[in-house]
């Protein structure tokens, strides 16, 4: 009997390890500062806001002066405008030790995960569409309140390729939530659910151009 075989099996079992940790978002929910009061008549604020918004990277979808509504949208990298916590994946095998540490809101991340089913190469993409309603309200004849309310839609795409057979498997899902709130993607095999929360930066950037 080959006495080295049990030792080799024991080495392989102890040499391979993996762990995934997740830290939830640090954003304080329900604290969205998404309105401002401007000491100018409503018509003046409206007239100056439309061209200013058009100069930004937002897309103006709809204008309704009678109701005081402007709808704009943002589409692109989510990391600036939402907090999806932080992901850390540790992998150890015959190739050595690797640690991946990245923001959960990262637009694109490639990393490795090792669990009871073996080693997997992960390609993960996240995209954001923010749909913002701007409401212009007359407080007094010389004061206007502008409120920015956003509907966040976050799309996630994941491709996992098993190192054992190099066969990729892909899937996608999405979540949505409003200003000052959050939502979570379904739990993964480790029982971890990625939560994403609005940071309020998008609303503040839009309101900053309205004067």
Give the number of other Cβ atoms within 10 Å of residue 20's Cβ.
19
pTM of the entire predicted model: 0.86
Average pLDDT over residues 110-123: 91
Average pLDDT over residues 65-80: 94
Is the pLDDT at 29 greater than 90? The verdict is no
Tens-place pLDDT, residues 154-184: 999 999 999 999 999 999 999 999 999 999 9
Whether residue 6 lies inside any domain: the answer is no
Query: Among all chains, which residue has been given the structure tokens 């739990």?
Result: 187
The pLDDT value recorded for residue 6 is 36
Distance CA 26, CA 113 (A): 24
Per-residue CA distances from 168 to 21, 96, 110, 114, 174 (Å): 23, 23, 14, 15, 20
Instruction: Provide the pLDDT confidence category of residue 11 given band limits of 50, 70 and 90.
Output: very low
Instruction: Provide the pLDDT confidence category of residue 151 given band limits of 50, 70 and 90.
Output: very high
Distance CA 97, CA 112 (A): 11
Domain with 129, as residue range(s), is 16-208
Whether residue 145 lies inside any domain: the answer is yes
Whether residue 181 lies inside any domain: the answer is yes
Whether residue 11 lies inside any domain: the answer is no
Whether residue 64 lies inside any domain: the answer is yes
**How many structural domains comprise the chain?**
1
Whether residue 45 lies inside any domain: the answer is yes
Identify how many contiguous H helices and E strands the chain contains and give both numbers.
3, 13
Whether residue 21 lies inside any domain: the answer is yes
Mean pLDDT for the chain? 88
């Amino acid at each position: 009997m080959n006495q080295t075989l049990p030792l080799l099996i024991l080495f392989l079992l102890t040499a391979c390890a993996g762990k995934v940790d997740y830290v939830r978002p640090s954003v304080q929910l329900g604290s969205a500062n998404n309105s401002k009061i401007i000491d100018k008549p409503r018509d003046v604020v409206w007239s100056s806001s439309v061209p200013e918004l058009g100069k930004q990277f937002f897309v103006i979808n709809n204008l309704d002066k009678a109701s005081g509504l402007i709808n704009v949208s943002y589409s692109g990298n989510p990391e600036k405008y939402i907090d999806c916590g932080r992901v850390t994946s540790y992998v150890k095998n015959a190739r050595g030790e690797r640690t991946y540490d990245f923001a959960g809101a990262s637009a694109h991340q490639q990393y490795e995960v090792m669990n009871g089913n073996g080693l997997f190469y992960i390609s993960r993409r996240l995209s954001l569409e923010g749909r913002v309603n701007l409401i212009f309200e007359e407080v007094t004849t010389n004061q206007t309140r502008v409120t920015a309310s956003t509907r966040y839609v976050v799309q996630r795409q994941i491709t996992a390729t098993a190192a054992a057979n190099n066969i990729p498997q892909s899937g996608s899902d999405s979540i949505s939530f409003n200003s000052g709130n959050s939502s979570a993607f379904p739990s993964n095999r480790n029982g971890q659910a990625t939560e994403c929360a609005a940071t309020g930066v998008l609303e503040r950037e839009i309101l900053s151009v309205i004067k």
